[in-house]
Amino acid sequence: MAGSVRTVSIFGATGSVGTSTLDLIRLEPEKYRVIALTANGNALELARLAKEFDAEIAVIADAAQYQILKEALGGSSVEAACGAESLVEAAARGADWTMAAIVGCAGLPPTLAALACGKTVALANKEALVSAGELMIAEATRSGATLLPVDSEHNAIFQCLQGGHIDQVRKITLTASGGPFRTWSLDRMAAVTPEQAVAHPNWDMGAKISVDSATLMNKGLELIEAFHLFPVGLANIDILVHPQSVIHSMVEYRDRSTLAQLGSPDMRIPIASSLAWPDRMETECKPLDLAEIGNLDFEAPDYDRFPALQLARSAIEDGGVKPAILNAANEVAVAAFLKGAVQFLDITEIVSRVLSSYSPPQPVSLADIFAADEEARCRADLVVEEMKV
């Protein structure tokens, strides 16, 4: 696409990833033309962004907000739409580059629709790949689409693989900050409050993903993502705690050379890598100053204090819809913790109980994934009721 205008659609435009993507487009507006912008319920902000970027269509997922969106877009050329079907239809317009940043399994249908167009999809929705990785990879293979990872760790791996071949890889290492409770005892973690759990030491993230980082479930979900994105085998994907979050991941080749991608903890960096790929673009991100940082520390993860890592690894080994069950149960458990209904250490206990409670058959369609997701949420709700503080 070098030298031409790239059409872009952003699903989840008002979230942190979406707004960061639009910030980057503002730096080089002549290179991009916005086709579709979507949001869950923030109709006024969606309308503002759609008008600023002269989008073809703005889609609000919450139908109750449609009238607000339509009125806010009055007098503009932007088409207004609402609901899940409209999200899929917008994705099917086939932008050259689509940012998939809708949170949760709600992002699955539009992401699959974008992949079906055979263009480039930048994936920031980890739940989609966790819950339906096999279906997504199969669709990308069928259509010839390019799937670019936006998570800092997977984007780092992707960058380290450029110039190499996947069959030459000996090991992939995902790095983890360790979260705010990296050095805390189990007794101390038992009294963690939601306010403490959402205060990540390095990254500015939403409440749910911050809690996932605190339990290390976020790294477990990323392990599942890496398993689907980079076919080196589960045994060849490791996790390493790196508190400074400077090295975002590493790839070791069979000659024992190890390549690492470094950068400041700023999501605009991996987004820029995906947005401009296969080129590079200027950003306003803080440059990396290793002399200022001074030291880089590493340690093995503690699977006893952070059982989410083993739960995720076991879910991959079991296969089928187990990763989808893991993801759904975790979402329910985290929501309950943020409401004060259960304790911090209960989160992984809830997930463990749901995972062991049933084993649906191998999924063959998206409907099977959604059915498992719904059942897992119901079972997680029941466990939450049993464990309420």
Sheet arrangement for strand 79-82:
79-82, 57-60, 32-39, 6-11, 97-100, 120-123, 146-149
Domain 6-149 classified CATH 3.40.50.720?
Answer: yes
Rounded to an integer, the average pLDDT of 268-276 is 96
Amino acid at the residue 128: A
CA atoms 268, 271, 276, 278: torsion sign: positive
Contact, 236 vs 167, CB < 8 A? no
**Could you give the dihedral angle defined by the CA atoms of residues 128, 316, 203 and 354, in that order, rounded to the nearest 10 degrees?**
80
**CB neighbour list of residue 247: distance below 8 Å, 6 or more residues apart:** 156, 175, 260, 261, 262, 296
Q: What is the mean pLDDT of the chain?
A: 94
Q: What is the pTM of this model?
A: 0.91
pLDDT of residue 364: 83
- φ/ψ of residue 92, rounded to 5: -75, -5
Q: Do domains 6-149 and 319-389 have the same CATH topology?
A: no
Amino acid at the residue 388: K
CA atoms 109, 113, 116, 122: torsion sign: negative
Amino acid at the residue 89: E
Confidence of residue 205 (pLDDT cuts 50, 70, 90): low
Quickly count: other Cβ atoms within 10 Å of residue 317's Cβ.
10
Rounded to an integer, the average pLDDT of 250-267 is 95
CA atoms 207, 210, 212, 214: torsion sign: negative
Distances (CA, A) of 301 to 138, 305, 363: 32, 9, 32
Domain ranges of the chain: 6-149, 150-304, 319-389
Contact, 36 vs 93, CB < 8 A? yes
Contact, 37 vs 46, CB < 8 A? yes
Contact, 113 vs 138, CB < 8 A? no
Question: Is the model's pLDDT at 123 over the cut of 50?
Answer: yes
Rounded to an integer, the average pLDDT of 325-346 is 96
pLDDT of residue 203: 63
d(CA 276, CA 262): 18
Residue whose pair of structure tokens reads 């580059």 in the numeric block: 97
Tokens read off for 280: 């590079």
**CB neighbour list of residue 220: distance below 8 Å, 6 or more residues apart:** 308, 309, 311, 312, 313, 326
Question: What is the CATH T-level fold of the domain 319-389, as seen in this structure?
Answer: Rna Polymerase Sigma Factor; Chain: A (1.10.1740)
Confidence of residue 101 (pLDDT cuts 50, 70, 90): very high
d(CA 65, CA 61): 8
Residue whose pair of structure tokens reads 């399994």 in the numeric block: 105
Quote the Cα angle for 216-222-223, to 5°. 95
Confidence of residue 362 (pLDDT cuts 50, 70, 90): confident
Tens of pLDDT along 148-204? 999 999 999 999 999 889 999 999 999 999 999 999 999 999 999 999 998 876 666
Quickly count: other Cβ atoms within 10 Å of residue 300's Cβ.
9
pLDDT of residue 1: 47
pLDDT of residue 44: 98
